[in-house]
Amino acid sequence: SRSVRWDLEFSPMNRFRALTAALSLVGIVTFFATSSQAYSTFGKWASTSVPFYLNPQNSSVSADDAEKPFRTALDVWSDATRSPFSYSYGGRIDDTSLGYDGRNVAVFRTDADASEIARTYVWSLNGTIIDADIVFSDVRRTFFTGTSGCEEAGEGGYIEDIGAHELGHALGLLDSRVIGATMAADAPPCSQSQRTLDADD
């Protein structure tokens, strides 16, 4: 099976930067370049409807306040007028670890060495995605919800936007260089542009 990992990282200048996607298979690492004009993919799910689960425990907002924007992020990709694919919400879980287990989970973790605000792991076999997990880095970052609060803090992001971007990777999309796209490789801190699909997405 194949495993892909994306990192959405804060640079020293407080800007989000998506690092290069890496695909490893039998010890060989292949790097994919991002498209400069249109979306690109590395794989796809066998089904057009995939469930995602969430452990909403974090140090920034209440569990209820984390769950609602994550569901909003799921809905970004489930709008039938914009996307033929849909996510469903599987419910809350207590998981704190990730792995190839057939259950797609998103968790907040306080990994001390994490430099990115979120990371997505995807396992695929012969181009078919079979599992995906997302980690929101709950250390040295503050998560916000809705449309206010983040700008005053300066070093954080909205769960709706970060979640939508990472769920795009879980869907099989690589980063895009199209400014304003949900899958844009760069977005400023506190951006609210990624919670709405762009034509490129």
Q: Mind listing the pLDDT tens digit for each residue in 135-181?
A: 999 887 899 999 998 887 667 899 999 999 999 999 999 999 898 89
Kindly report the backbone phi and psi dihedral angles of residue 141, in degrees, each rounded to the nearest multiple of 5, phi listed first: -135, 150
Sign of torsion over alpha carbons 93, 99, 104, 110: positive
- 190 with 151: CB under 8 angstroms? yes
Q: For residue 3, what pLDDT band results from cuts at 50, 70 and 90?
A: very low
d(CA 35, CA 40): 6
- 196 with 179: CB under 8 angstroms? no
Q: What are the contacts of 21-29 at 24+ separation with CB within 8 A?
A: 21/169, 21/174, 21/175
Assigned token pair, 110: 């306080």
71-113 pLDDT, tens digit per residue, is 999 999 998 787 889 999 999 999 998 999 999 999 999 877 7
